[in-house]
Structure 1
Amino acid sequence: MAVMEEEQSDIERKQSLYNSMDEEFKIQKEMYRGQQYSQIYFARLHLMRTLLYSLVPTWKPHLPVCTVLGLEGDKECVIVGTLYKHMKLKPCVLDEYSKERSVTPLVQPHNFVHSDDYLILEDESGRVKLSGTTLSPSFYVTGIVVALHGKETGAGDFLVEDVLEAGLPPQLDPPNKLGEDKYVVFVSGLNLGSSSSNPLQVQLLVDHITGHLGDEKEQNNAAQIVQVVIAGDSVEIPRELLNGQNLAPKDQSRLSEPIKEVDILLTQIAASIPLDIMPGPNDPSNFAMPQQPLHRCLFPSSASYNTFKSCTNPHSFELDGVRFLGTSGQNIHDFEKYSEGSEEVEFLERTLKWRHIAPTAPNTLGCYPFTDRDPFFVESCPHVYFAGNQNKFGTRLITGSDGQVVRLISIPRFSKTGTAVMFLPGSVSVDSRNSKLSEKEAGQVPVLASSDELLSKFAQVGATSNKLALTLVTNKKNKKLQLSSKRQRSIDRSNPDCESPTGVSVADRKLLLPPANKRGAATFIRRLGIGKAKLRSRNINNKSLLGGIEKTWRKTLKGASKILIEKHYNQHKRLISDIA
């Protein structure tokens, strides 16, 4: 193969300092000996009560603090305890037996909030029913520890006049504004193996992240990506196969094929970018929270890279001094069933202000029965708090009373929306003038739409392209890149039939391009709906217009062929280097 030297600019990928903080979510020395879930509630109450007791003197300095059994009629005081929400529509395991004897089927709503719901506060001494309009039962859920100001009524209820929540936890000083832009990509809900998964969308995402897609501008943006986080539900295994029976060889292939697809996907990403993968509700991991890391044997190819890291759910890490904390979305989905809110980021804000990632665990959300600690208690406030597998993208910037600044991110399901999220850590620490993102800055920016449409034209003439959107979460507008100029080799196309590492020749890849014909420009004009009459009415020279479009189309095909051949050559060169 003839190779010639050309002077080109070599784009270098940015680097960052990564530190995992998942130790608190790992189940290592704990052993199940038949313990009940009451101990995790006691541990939670002890942690939160100590915190709230320290805040009461500045909140209600003139009122005494007492227990539930120490309440006296018509005497105002402050009590601290755990909220329990009595729900009329809450599912019960006994309903499964009553269904068999019931003539009318029971309703199964997606939200179990009812107007007759009420709250109860309990501590070690007892419990008391709460009344008044200060606390809205539809806003709170079971498992939250709060301090209440009020008095006992003649009916035995506690009339709430004011409520004190823990608020945002202390936060480390935000890092200084970075001198260069570095992005973190969040994606969740790939659901490889399901009918809703689109292989073209997934491959376009991988090619964009790794820098194999788009023009020089998009490749410069891809070079600024320093971390990729897959927030759960990477694979979807057919549930009908998990029945405890021996599987036939054909069913075994159906069971393992989605995991192999995920491994191939992760290998492409881990070969160039550090990657974190979190388990989700549909992944082959334990059901109870916190979910433990996916076993490395599931990913034999990608796990061989030191950039690959299998993480817990919840997942916590630091990147250049910016702390990230997030889940795969189970805690938010449980909130949607037992509480009311306008959007997912509102639930994220509530959990952070209550200083607990999953307050509904273990009541309605499964979790491990810890005995001496509650790993979901938030001791240090993160700079970025995210949740995966949500219905739509959302973001919000919240501030605390002590100057805390937190970016909330709701990551949508990729298999349904085709949307990933790019986040700029340098945009966390912003002044009050930029405390809220404008609609243009926080909206969904389809930066890959043009490349997607171009590739779809190459792959199939007249096919409808699936637009892949990358949501850009940033407060910065100006970007400065420092590129180093190096000599890079390019390929002489005189021998395009060499074998590729993937077993597909360049000649076969050229089959993806539509055949050139003389009527291509005229067909393109007809698809645009521009007839001869319209062209004459606009006094446009038909020959010059058609000639210009045909010339532009040929240049596009020539550029696409060059990109495909150069990509093939780079893969072939890396393979030869690895063998050598």
Structure 2
Amino acid sequence: MESMHDLETLTLDNLSVSEIRADHFLSSVDSVSIDSISTSHHADVSYNDMPEFRDKLIIREKSFRQQFANLYFVRLVEMRPVVLMAAQKRWNVTSQERTTDEPHAIKHVDRILDVKSGETCYVIGTVYMDMQFKPNILDDVTKEHWDIAPSPRSKYCSDDDKVFLEDESGRIILTGEKLKQEIIVTGVIMAVLGKENAEGEFEVYDVCFAGLPNQAKSIQKSIDDDKYIALICGLKVGENASALPLQMMIEYLTGEIGSLSEQNFSSKIARIIIAGNSLPEVKIMDDDRKQKKYGYDGSMYNAELCLELDDIIDELCSTVPVDLMPGNNDPTNSSLPQQPIIPNLLPKANQHSTFHSVTNPYWCELDGVVFLGTSGQTIDDIYKYVSSEDRLKFAERTLHWRHIAPTAPDTLWCYPFQDVDPFIMSQAPHIYFISNQKEFATSTIEGPDKQRTRIILLPSFAETGVVVLVNLKNLKCHPIFFSSLN
């Protein structure tokens, strides 16, 4: 990346990118009177927490007696009509282009067990990946008896993996070169076109997914109506990294520092979404494995970090609304959907009407622009079970699959829902962000019915100093890099 100084702006893949250094702010303070540096009024946006999605993600009565199989059943029942419609649209065209040797339309078989050998057809079901390296609970138990446990793998896929498609009637193994060209994981609902061969395997000619869901039309904005939403993740409050970029970021977002033009720009920031991992990861030390008194070890919890996070959010909420999503490191349940961090842990922040502790995943609508975000676990889990390294592509695939977390509950821990799958996308968001990724990246995906979604991979602030501003007017991104004097 090219060198950037102060607020010099350059174009990187059509994005406006800025770097803000501590020495720039020091010079700004010299040139602006202290009286002129005050908290400016921030832009207002309408806020809708989208209860049609929120209520499905809130777990009001917890019970773990039920089986996870019900979640797969609900997913298949709800997604099958959508995938069938997409398959009919895709392969009815194909049937008209077939040669005179095969004049008949392609047949849809309702149940996998009804597939007949040698007959070209298509069938719909749930993908299951049989992977020899996929971890299981028995391996975790046996590790306790090993002198030296094997190193964890970054990926669990191999050339020997088998792909199955299953429904209520049974399952069939899929084969064919077409499968190698696709990114698929366990839990995806898809249709496959092909025929059963002599070995009893279904040779796949083509695949079809649900495709992008419908999208609500965003409200047309005035040409001068720039309003920004700040996306931040991975604050990791209390880590031994320099606290200067964090304080710079806070004062910049609240409009307390910078030149007058910079304060004017920051006043257009209408909301902040903190997307997980606000606290650092708990590191297991050797003495953490000692026997715990009454089953509890207070050294695993540091209340000071929550108090420090509370002070940060309290300062931000004094000028701009803040939504706080939990992540892997934060004090809430670890399974998806992660529930809002309870008010007792953030007493100062919860005194503000501008503070919202929300779920992960999180849906909201801001001035007619629909946001969907996760704290990163969904894409991190998909990464482990496919050979590709392209995380943007994984995010795009989840939109086409219409599912936020297809690998749950197989390899991604989630609550055993019975009557609903809250991770199904019944609506395409305008902004789809995945936080706590290794680096910033973005792309735009468009659908056949004029759907348009901006995908954003958001890196940890503690590791990169990056905050991403999203312009509600045109959905463009403006990454800002906060760096220390060093």
Instruction: Tell me the TM-score range normalised by the shorter chain.
Output: 0.7 to 0.9
Indicate the residue corresponding to 2:322 in structure 1: 275
How far off is 1:101 after superposition?
7.0
The AA in structure 1 aligned to 2:258 is G
2:440 to 393, 404, 409: 393
Structure 1 residues 10 and 375 mapped into 2: Cα distance closer, same or farther (>3 Å)?
A: closer
The AA in structure 2 aligned to 1:93 is I
How far off is 1:91 after superposition?
1.2
Indicate the residue corresponding to 1:118 in structure 2: 162
Indicate the residue corresponding to 1:129 in structure 2: 173
Structure 1 residues 17 and 162 mapped into 2: Cα distance closer, same or farther (>3 Å)?
A: same
Which structure: larger Rg? Answer: 1
**In structure 2, how many angstroms separate the alpha carbons of the residues matched to 1:166 and 1:315?**
22
1:382 to 415, 429, 443: 429
1:26 to 41, 48, 57: 57
Indicate the residue corresponding to 2:454 in structure 1: 407
**In structure 1, how many angstroms separate the alpha carbons of the residues matched to 2:354 and 2:387?**
40
Q: Confirm whether residue 260 of structure 1 aligns to residue 307 of structure 2.
A: yes
The AA in structure 1 aligned to 2:46 is L
Structure 1 residues 147 and 265 mapped into 2: Cα distance closer, same or farther (>3 Å)?
A: same
Indicate the residue corresponding to 1:64 in structure 2: 107
Indicate the residue corresponding to 2:81 in structure 1: 50
Indicate the residue corresponding to 1:517 in structure 2: none
Structure 1 residues 79 and 212 mapped into 2: Cα distance closer, same or farther (>3 Å)?
A: same
SS at match of 1:213: coil
Contact 2:317 2:352 in 1 (8 A): yes
Contact 1:17 1:319 in 2 (8 A): yes
Note the alpha carbon deviations across 1:203-252, whole angstroms, 9 max, x for none.
111000001111111111110000000000101264559878459xx966
Indicate the residue corresponding to 1:15 in structure 2: 44
How far off is 1:68 after superposition?
1.1
Indicate the residue corresponding to 1:307 in structure 2: 354
The AA in structure 1 aligned to 2:229 is V
Structure 1 residues 377 and 222 mapped into 2: Cα distance closer, same or farther (>3 Å)?
A: same
**In structure 1, how many angstroms separate the alpha carbons of the residues matched to 2:278 and 2:141?**
35
1:139 to 183, 204, 210: 183
Indicate the residue corresponding to 2:280 in structure 1: 236
Instruction: Give matches, 1:309-388, under 5 Å.
Output: 309-388=356-435
Contact 1:138 1:340 in 2 (8 A): no
Indicate the residue corresponding to 1:223 in structure 2: 267
SS at match of 2:302: helix
TM-score (norm 1): 0.70
SS at match of 1:202: helix
2:194 to 142, 150, 174: 150
Higher RCO (CA 8 Å, separation ≥ 6 residues): 2
Indicate the residue corresponding to 2:66 in structure 1: 35
Unaligned regions of 5+ residues in structure 1, if any? 429-436, 453-464, 467-580
The AA in structure 1 aligned to 2:152 is Q
How far off is 1:34 after superposition?
1.0
Instruction: Give matches, 1:279-294, under 5 Å.
Output: 279-294=326-341
**In structure 2, how many angstroms separate the alpha carbons of the residues matched to 1:224 and 1:310?**
23
Structure 1 residues 266 and 132 mapped into 2: Cα distance closer, same or farther (>3 Å)?
A: same
Q: Confirm whether residue 211 of structure 1 aligns to residue 242 of structure 2.
A: no
Note the alpha carbon deviations across 1:508-551, whole angstroms, 9 max, x for none.
xxxxxxxxxxxxxxxxxxxxxxxxxxxxxxxxxxxxxxxxxxxx
SS at match of 1:318: strand
Instruction: Give matches, 1:409-428, under 5 Å.
Output: 409-428=456-475
Indicate the residue corresponding to 1:163 in structure 2: 207
Contact 2:392 2:442 in 1 (8 A): yes
How far off is 1:108 after superposition?
2.3
TM-score (norm 2): 0.83
**In structure 2, how many angstroms separate the alpha carbons of the residues matched to 1:304 and 1:110?**
42
Contact 1:118 1:137 in 2 (8 A): no
Note the alpha carbon deviations across 1:96-125, whole angstroms, 9 max, x for none.
455577788535211111111121000111
Contact 1:314 1:325 in 2 (8 A): yes
Contact 2:54 2:363 in 1 (8 A): no
Structure 1 residues 336 and 7 mapped into 2: Cα distance closer, same or farther (>3 Å)?
A: closer
How far off is 1:360 after superposition?
0.2
**In structure 2, how many angstroms separate the alpha carbons of the residues matched to 1:45 and 1:295?**
34
Unaligned regions of 5+ residues in structure 2, if any? 1-32, 93-104
**In structure 2, how many angstroms separate the alpha carbons of the residues matched to 1:7 and 1:20?**
36
Q: How many residues align?
A: 432
**In structure 1, how many angstroms separate the alpha carbons of the residues matched to 2:298 and 2:68?**
38
Indicate the residue corresponding to 2:28 in structure 1: none
How far off is 1:444 after superposition?
4.9
Structure 1 residues 314 and 342 mapped into 2: Cα distance closer, same or farther (>3 Å)?
A: same
2:228 to 183, 194, 198: 183
Structure 1 residues 254 and 33 mapped into 2: Cα distance closer, same or farther (>3 Å)?
A: closer
**In structure 1, how many angstroms separate the alpha carbons of the residues matched to 2:267 and 2:437?**
27
Contact 1:85 1:137 in 2 (8 A): no
User: Whose helix proportion is higher, 1 or 2?
Assistant: 1
Indicate the residue corresponding to 1:482 in structure 2: none
**In structure 1, how many angstroms separate the alpha carbons of the residues matched to 2:177 and 2:411?**
25
Segment drifting more, 407-416 vs 170-179? 170-179
Q: Confirm whether residue 194 of structure 1 aligns to residue 239 of structure 2.
A: yes
**In structure 1, how many angstroms separate the alpha carbons of the residues matched to 2:334 and 2:147?**
34
How far off is 1:346 after superposition?
1.6
How far off is 1:14 after superposition?
1.1
SS at match of 2:108: coil
SS at match of 2:71: helix
Instruction: Give matches, 1:384-533, under 5 Å.
Output: 384-428=431-475, 444-446=479-481, 465-466=485-486
Contact 1:117 1:137 in 2 (8 A): no
The AA in structure 2 aligned to 1:277 is L
Note the alpha carbon deviations across 1:375-409, whole angstroms, 9 max, x for none.
00000111000011110001101101111000000
**In structure 1, how many angstroms separate the alpha carbons of the residues matched to 2:136 and 2:262?**
52
Instruction: Give matches, 1:537-576, under 5 Å.
Output: none
Contact 2:273 2:323 in 1 (8 A): yes
